[in-house]
């Protein structure tokens, strides 16, 4: 699976659990750590955990892909799932604002999440 495709799937699985402000940033020209960052927010510790678990289980069950590491699942403030080529960060919004990964990587190109993978639209737009 291509890294970009994995990043889009991670975003889709997070959106499936109502994560919001989901972004995919292509950082492969700027970082030696990973190719893509997926950044998402949840409204509570349970929603952060649910979105992160949706990513982890979705890739495991549907694509036989295990993460290299998962950090922060017990706290629910910030969960990091590392797939090597894709790193997924799911935050509670105040924590996301504090660490400002969006600002840190503001020069990174953003990858559009295809419409068929977007569950964050308002009900009237569906």
Q: Which residues pair with 110 in a beta bridge?
A: 25
Using pLDDT thresholds of 50, 70 and 90, give the confidence band for residue 119. very low
For the chain, how far is it from start to end, CA to CA, in angstroms? 29
Using pLDDT thresholds of 50, 70 and 90, give the confidence band for residue 115. confident
- Residue 120, pLDDT > 50, answer no
Q: Considering all CA atoms of the chain, what is the largest pairwise distance in Å, rounded to the nearest integer? A: 42
Q: Among 2.60.40.10, 3.30.70.3270, 3.30.460.10, 1.10.3720.10, name the CATH number for the domain at 23-113.
A: 3.30.460.10
Average pLDDT of the residues in 35-42:
98
């Amino acid at each position: 699976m291509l890294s970009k495709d994995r990043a889009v799937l991670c975003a889709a699985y997070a959106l499936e659990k109502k994560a919001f402000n989901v972004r995919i940033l292509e950082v492969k020209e700027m970082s030696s750590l990973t190719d893509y960052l997926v950044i998402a927010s949840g409204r509570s510790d349970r929603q952060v955990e649910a979105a992160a678990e949706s990513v982890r289980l979705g890739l495991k069950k549907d694509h036989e892909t295990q993460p290299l590491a998962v950090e922060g699942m017990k706290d629910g403030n910030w969960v990091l799932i590392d797939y090597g080529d894709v790193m997924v960060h799911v935050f509670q919004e105040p924590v996301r604002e504090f660490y400002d990964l969006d600002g840190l990587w503001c020069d990174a190109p953003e990858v559009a999440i295809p419409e068929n993978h977007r569950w964050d639209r308002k009900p009237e737009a569906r």
